[in-house]
């Protein structure tokens, strides 16, 4: 939701400041904005998911469990998978929002 709001609000501001902008240029601007927001959101997502398992990882490290074994545990692998899927979801949201916002902002008449 944060990415969708960031991208769409920024694109709306661009359209207000430059009303003659073409849809392709506006969508490209939205994708650029989305790309910058995805970096921070992915980091936040990673920290949010890994924070819950930090205690468990500290226990494994204190027991001298090898890195390979830790990575291959189902719980750790599930968290890695969750972060990857969440990041892919962020990318899809940014892309779809840029396309839909570009379409709506350029083809629908502006209401005051």
Task: Examine the pLDDT at 112 and tell me if it is beyond 80.
Answer: no
Over residues 84-96, the pLDDT tens digits come to 898 899 899 999 9
Q: Is the Cβ–Cβ distance between 33 and 11 less than 8 Å?
A: yes
Number of domains in the chain: 1
CB-based contacts of 34-42 (< 8 A; 24+ apart in sequence): 34/3, 34/6, 34/7, 34/94, 34/95, 34/97, 34/98, 35/94, 37/2, 37/3, 37/6, 37/7, 37/94, 38/3, 38/87, 38/90, 38/91, 38/94, 41/2, 41/3, 41/90, 42/86, 42/87, 42/90
pTM: 0.77
42 found inside a domain: yes
112 found inside a domain: no
62 found inside a domain: yes
Over residues 46-70, the pLDDT tens digits come to 888 777 778 888 888 889 888 888 8
pLDDT at 77: 84
Q: Give the structural domain span for 20.
A: 2-107
58 found inside a domain: yes
Task: Pull the structure tokens for residue 59.
Answer: 């226990």
Q: Distances in Å between the alpha carbon of 31 and those of 12, 23, 48, 88, 103? A: 13, 12, 25, 15, 13
Q: What is the DSSP letter of 73?
A: S
């Amino acid at each position: 939701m944060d990415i969708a709001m960031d991208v769409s609000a920024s694109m709306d501001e661009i359209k207000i400041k430059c009303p003659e902008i073409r849809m392709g240029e506006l969508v490209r601007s939205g994708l650029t904005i989305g790309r910058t927001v995805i970096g921070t959101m992915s980091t936040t997502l990673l920290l949010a998911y890994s924070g819950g398992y930090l205690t468990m990882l500290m226990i494994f490290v204190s027991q001298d469990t090898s890195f390979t074994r830790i990575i291959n545990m189902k719980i750790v692998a599930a968290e890695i998978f969750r972060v990857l899927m969440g990041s892919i979801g962020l990318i899809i949201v940014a892309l779809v929002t840029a396309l839909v916002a570009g379409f709506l902002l350029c083809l629908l008449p502006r209401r005051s």
